[in-house]
Amino acid sequence: MTAQDAHTGHPGTLEEVRRLEQALEGRTDGTELAAARIAAARRETDDILTAARAAGFDEGRLRVAALLADANAQAVDIRATGTAHRQELKALVCSQRSALVAAMTATVLGETE
């Protein structure tokens, strides 16, 4: 029996305490390692989220630009169709007005058929 074993009254008690202390230190190291891994995973997650947000923002900006370009092309087509329709109506009104003026002139001058 060692002097310390004699003091506690139990053989191997000091050795048991040392083993427990080592186990606790190992456990602490494991906890620190786990905490470091969790922190690294959080940083990686933040990086992935940041990249995804940036990609989503860029994709959204491109989509908006494409929608605006499409809307602009449709507006140009609508204006062109409206202009053509207006010109057709103007020609029709002029033609009918000329026919009306001719008919009224014939009526006034007594040239009815």
- Quick check: 12 and 5 in contact, CB under 8 A? yes
Binned average pLDDT, 10 residues per bin, the chain of 113 residues = 50 73 68 81 91 93 95 95 94 94 90 64
- Quick check: 13 and 5 in contact, CB under 8 A? yes
Exposure of 5 by Cβ count < 10 A (0-12 exposed, 13-18 middle, 19+ buried)?
middle
pLDDT at 112: 61
- Quick check: 19 and 31 in contact, CB under 8 A? no
Provide the token pair at 112. Answer: 């009815």
pLDDT at 5: 45
pTM over 0.85: no
* Domains of the chain, residue spans: 3-109
